[in-house]
Structure 1
Amino acid sequence: MKITQLSGRHIDVTPALRAYIEQKLERLDRFGEVTSARVTLTVKEGREAARRNRIEVQLNVPGGVLRAEEAHADMYAAIDRASDVLERQLRKFKTRTLKQRHTALPETAAAQELGLAEDVYPPEIVRQKRFEMRPMTPEDAALQMEDLGHDFYVFSNMNTGNCGVVYRRKDGHYGLIEPK
């Protein structure tokens, strides 16, 4: 695997950190799907006494992108956790692609031949919902999302006229997704 970018925000990427990241990401080469990787290390100082070390890893795979973001008081622990998340995602990705390739075989024979668990099924749409999008500001959409108890809310932005999505971030703040 080729790490195309390894950068640090508020941290110097030491040779030891670089070697540890490369060692952890080399484990993912056994899946044979990863073409390149981008890694960003961040150290944030907050109100807490402990520093928050964060790693963001983006793996490019044929037909998609896998991403992991982990934070921990220890940078090496954050790297370990991100590596474990990416390993699970790659295993799931490879299972899905192998299953799609072997759809001509009977289900049980394909699962036995590939050594896959029988309870792994491709995702399917189980519910569809339609609603009227009223024009509102992103702040109003965030309030509406909180009132409904949802993690995201789709709305028509009255400032831009575009469709937008407000979502709750892991840090407790809100994010806004809008098309260009």
Structure 2
Amino acid sequence: MEIVVTGRNVEVPDHFRVHVTDKVGRLERYDHKMMGMHVELFHEPNRRQLKTCQRVEITGRGGCGTVARAEATAKDFYAALDLAISKLEGRLRRSHDRRRISGRRARATAGRGGTTITEELPDLMVEELPTGEIPIPAPRAHDEHLNGHHGEGDLAEREIAEVEALAAAYNGDGADDPDPCPGRVVRRKVHTSQPMTVDDALARMELVGHDFYLFSDSDSGEPSVVYRRRGYDYGLIRLGT
């Protein structure tokens, strides 16, 4: 598995590249089809964010367009890397267990075990890319690492009409709004993907750590969204004509 380490206006020393390669390489045991991992480092120069000034993003790409992603922030890059790897490892492990359970169900009987379908939609999150330039420090003692973590807020209920706004935001011209104002769509993306089943969409949603996943349903041929509900259930929404 190829592992690439880059920095966004951050100097990446050789000793940290070796540390990243050793840590990230252990994740291959969960998915041998993962072809490569890209680890990107960011620094937030705002002095008010000293406890979360270093950010690490890990993106893994496998066959058939599969993407696994996790990110974390901390006071130093070593702690941020550990947090991001912990998140990604959990997602890869759940995906591995899902594939194993799905295989057993398929061999036992078709149609066993369903997906809970309701009408809720989580909030859409917008990311900001920090800038700045700072070298990575030498390894620190364990007691200097940040031990905090980021919790995930509860999902709020939404009306089905909001799905149309979500679909519009993900099917625009791919350009960011140069002069955003409150209440306006500030990011537009166009995604291309092969039709897939609901189970495949759920698996990919778990791998990237999102609360929703937009896809083309191979069974109905319609644009659809799967999303995470409270507890351990999922929801499915389709746009009909």
TM-score range, shorter chain: 0.5 to 0.7
1:155 Cα deviation from its structure 2 partner: 5.0
- Unaligned 5+ segments in structure 1 are 108-120, 130-148, 166-173
1:81–1:122 CA distance, 2 compared to 1 (3 A): farther
Q: Which residue of 2 aligns with 1:176?
A: 187
RMSD: 3.3
Equivalent residue runs for 1:60-139 within 5 Å: 60-63=61-64, 64-106=66-108, 124-128=115-119
1:41–1:47 CA distance, 2 compared to 1 (3 A): same
For 2:80 and 2:19, how far apart are their aligned partners in 1? 12
Specify which structure has the bigger relative contact order, considering alpha-carbon pairs within 8 angstroms and separated by 6 or more residues.
Answer: 2
1:156–1:85 CA distance, 2 compared to 1 (3 A): closer
1:90–1:33 CA distance, 2 compared to 1 (3 A): farther
For 1:75 and 1:176, how far apart are their aligned partners in 2? 28
1:96–1:122 CA distance, 2 compared to 1 (3 A): farther
* 2:46 aligned with 1:46: yes
Conserved 8 A contact 1:164-1:177: yes
Q: Which residue of 2 aligns with 1:163?
A: 168
For 1:52 and 1:35, how far apart are their aligned partners in 2? 30
Q: Deviations over 1:120-160 (max 9, x none)?
A: x988242147xxxxxxxxxxxxxxxxxxx669x54559xxx
* Identity %, equivalent residues: 24
Conserved 8 A contact 1:8-1:42: yes
- Unaligned 5+ segments in structure 2 are 121-155, 171-184, 192-241
Which letter does structure 2 place at the counterpart of 1:48? R
Q: TM-score normalised to the size of structure 1?
A: 0.62
Q: TM-score normalised to the size of structure 2?
A: 0.47
Equivalent residue runs for 1:12-51 within 5 Å: 12-31=11-30, 32-48=32-48, 50=50
For 1:19 and 1:124, how far apart are their aligned partners in 2? 42
For 1:7 and 1:48, how far apart are their aligned partners in 2? 25
1:175–1:103 CA distance, 2 compared to 1 (3 A): farther
1:103–1:49 CA distance, 2 compared to 1 (3 A): closer
**Secondary structure in 1 matching 2:6:** strand
1:30–1:45 CA distance, 2 compared to 1 (3 A): same
1:106 Cα deviation from its structure 2 partner: 4.0
Count of residue pairs brought into register by the alignment: 135
Larger radius of gyration: 1
For 1:18 and 1:97, how far apart are their aligned partners in 2? 32
**Secondary structure in 2 matching 1:124:** coil
Conserved 8 A contact 1:53-1:73: yes
More strand by share: 1
Which letter does structure 1 place at the counterpart of 2:89? E
